[in-house]
Homo-oligomer: A and B are copies of this chain.
């Protein structure tokens, strides 16, 4: 696991409609080296789904709901952390990732459809993963992969109950 601490802040989540997408955001963060996700909404379904994956697949990714985004950002910055907001309006990933990479604590804000205008000013970096509309899930994935230079693809998750044995064709797992 990297020495860098990266945590996601998911904002604009609407409990019914966004449960699946927000769960994918959290799982993508976990698989690609983030330490956890703050959810600026109340949704125990998301918290449970992610805890369930962590229990079976290992690691110690956390998911906390009912987080207030303004104080979360403020505290993060007060503790010396940097704030990156993923938005299609920002500077293109390959142009800024080199400047972000040396930072030790990074809060990654992942918005749903509407994001309060204030977020743009509060963030140290507004980063676009292409200036095209696609998905906050793919944006987060590419941001983390470029941040960690692809090394996160070989992360291990200690304490797993189940582990996949990579294979050319078919499904092979080992459990305990």
Contact = CB atoms under 8 A, between A and B. Distances in A.
Contacts of A171: 89, 120
Contact of A170 (B20, B120, B137, B145): B120
Contact of A138 (B20, B32, B146, B170): B32
A15 to B, nearest CB: 15
Interface in A24-57: 24, 27-28, 30-32, 53, 57
A31 B94 contact: no
Contact of A126 (B30, B93, B168): B168
Number of copies: 2
Given A170-B120, A171-B89, A172-B89, A94 B153 contact: yes
Interface residues of A, number: 53
Nearest to A95: B166
18 contacts: A21-B24, A24-B138, A28-B134, A32-B130, A32-B138, A89-B167, A91-B166, A91-B167, A94-B150, A95-B166, A120-B170, A121-B169, A126-B170, A130-B155, A131-B166, A137-B138, A138-B141, A142-B142
